[in-house]
Structure 1
């Protein structure tokens, strides 16, 4: 996603300083406008890394990071709310005992279940948004776990967007390190779960 963002920016001749000069003309409401539009695009399943990179390009890392986290959390919660409003009741009517048991398992773990889904690198962000709406996890808990879970990657993508003119800068290097670290943490969690599942099967 970062590669796509950088290529697109290069093709259209964007520079971080030029874009920020244009944003400054909009005034202090620019971050709020971005949050609203980015949240709407999140509901429409536009990839989060592109939106976070855009926040970095527009506002820089310091302001872009909280802006990206807020927009990602708002969009994710809106998507979960839509899913719950229009899909949860139908799922409850059609689901069997296994699905109900899975819903109960996720609801019991709430914050940690959502946080875990956000950390794992192979789990699509937008899929989690809509799938969470079909569970019994309270939306406030979902939003809190989303904000915490998406923060490291949001910072990384924002920093890369803000460093578009110099991807070899210390800020960009830190961003790449965060993304690699998050991927490794996710793989460690996944490996732990695989070992636990195998041990449970052996005991059973």
Structure 2
């Protein structure tokens, strides 16, 4: 009885997690306030020869605080052109989406999952979906720029998706958006040129096209509906 009373009612692991979460929240507020989009470009330009490393570092850390990542991609296109800007953006995004996934899975998952399961029981069907379903949803989310990139990184850390599935699906399906966003930044230096208009058209096609694709894929197939109706009729 004495041993039970003398045991602490908290673990050092939980305390460490709370401290890390608190520091993360403070860092998020600081990042959001201290790095408006116009300052990002100035910071990259002022870094000189180290600008590329600064750009990648900004990609790793700024999205944690829900910084709008399209502005980062635009800055990459303006500063380094389409090809090099796309490569640097891809590297930075790859590091960031990995970092944010592990943060979500090992810092937030346990607490948030229990909260969601308790308050919203149906969320368990989404977070604990099968592997192929999660891969499909992730691929669609990465293609659709209407879904915030930052939220995707945190959200999939809460699911049961294996890390390597998350990584390869993300890397493949962020490529179109990366290229198009960087292209807009590259062509924005000449707003009167036809190439800038084309870059905006491509961006619009990406947004509208993937939105319609998502709606189409969510619709139940006619064959499967007929099979279910026939099966119910036999019963």
TM-score interval for Structure 1 and Structure 2 normalised by the shorter chain:
0.7 to 0.9
Q: 1:160 to 1:72 in 2, by over 3 A?
A: same
1:154 aligns with 2:184: no
Matched residue, 2:8: none
Q: Contact (CA 8 Å) 1:80, 1:133: kept in 2 or not?
A: yes
Query: When the two structures are superposed, what TM-score results if normalisation uses the length of structure 2?
Result: 0.66
Which of 22, 44, 47 aligns to 2:65? It is 44
Q: CA deviation at 1:106?
A: 5.3
Structure number with greater CO (CA < 8 Å, separation at least 6) is 1
TM-superposition CA deviations, 1:146-197 (whole Å, max 9, x none) = 2222222222221222223212435423422321221232222233145329
Structure 2 residues not aligned, in runs of 5+: 1-36
**Partners in 1 of 2:221 and 2:152 — Cα distance?**
22
Larger Rg: 2
Tell me the number of residue pairs that the alignment of Structure 1 and Structure 2 aligns.
186
**Partners in 1 of 2:221 and 2:113 — Cα distance?**
27
* 3-state SS in 2 of match to 1:136: coil
Q: 1:38 to 1:136 in 2, by over 3 A?
A: same
Q: Contact (CA 8 Å) 2:59, 2:72: kept in 1 or not?
A: yes
TM-superposition CA deviations, 1:122-157 (whole Å, max 9, x none) = 322211111011011122322222222222222222
